[in-house]
Amino acid sequence: MRGRLALGATVRFLAGVIIIGALLFIPFGGLLWTRVYLFMAVAFLPIAVCGAVLLLRSPALLEKRLGKGEKDKGQRRIVALSALAFLLAFVTAGLSARFGFLVMPMWVSVLGCVSYILGYVLYALVLSQNRFLSRDIEVQDGQTVCDTGLYALVRHPMYLATVIMFLSMPLILGSLISFLIMCIYPLLIAQRIKGEERLLEEELSGYAEYKKKVKYRLIPYIW
């Protein structure tokens, strides 16, 4: 199992590096763009480390995080729109850097790196606290409600981590217009959460009571 899983995870990792590199460097028109290398280091090194740790310590969780594809039509639409937002944001960042359009100063990129790393630390904490985290929305055999740790504060800390990381990406690349495009992502996540909670209330025992106990979905005292 580990060998097959390692191969699958490695292929996806390398494909991600190649695709994102192409989406950035081709619109930029060259390879001499320092912020892309900074972005690649900040974005992909933690993924490699986290993937290796999960492979060794929790291969079942790694397999869930790789996902198999959403079953619900509405969720598939949200995933597709998210992918489109990413594509537009990366291509726009390359064009912005190429033509010097709405490029933010380097200190914003540094701030974006710090924000991304903090988001990934939050992501890693969530992984350590909930062994039922699947990439796809589903209720697994034997799944129980997780209501401790970060889940005692908000119902979806994983989505909070991804929002922080994904909004940090265009900051690292220094593109204001790319950041504005990526602001679509939290709106899509809000719709994804609503659909996920409907499923969990119907199929996961104790989730309705958990919603009454933990009132906030994503951000404490806000939503």
Residue pair 210/144 in contact by the 8 Å Cβ criterion = no
Of the listed ranges 51-60, 111-120, 183-192, the least confidently predicted one is 51-60
Question: Could you tell me where the beta strands, DSSP code E, fall in 78-168?
Answer: none
Per-residue pLDDT tens over the stretch 20-73:
999 999 999 999 999 999 999 999 998 888 877 777 777 776 676 666 766 778
Return the closest-CA partner of residue 157 out of 124, 204, 206, 131.
124
Of the listed ranges 17-31, 69-83, 125-139, 188-202, the least confidently predicted one is 125-139
Per-residue pLDDT tens over the stretch 128-166:
888 777 766 677 777 788 888 889 899 999 999 999 999
Give the C-alpha separation, 91 to 84, whole Å: 11
* pLDDT at residue 133, rounded to an integer: 74
Residue pair 168/115 in contact by the 8 Å Cβ criterion = yes
Give the C-alpha separation, 146 to 154, whole Å: 11
Reading phi first (left if > 0) and then psi (alpha if -120 to 50, else beta), residue 221 is in left
37-43, Cβ contacts within 8 angstroms, sequence gap of 24 or more: 38/109, 38/113, 38/172, 39/169, 39/172, 39/173, 42/113, 42/116, 42/117, 42/172, 43/116, 43/169, 43/172
* pLDDT at residue 180, rounded to an integer: 96
Output the DSSP codes for 130-153: -TT--SS----TT-----SGGGGT
The percent of residues above 70 in pLDDT, for the chain, comes to 94
Domains located in the chain, CATH noted: 2-213 (1.20.120.1630)
Residue pair 155/210 in contact by the 8 Å Cβ criterion = yes
Length of the chain: 223
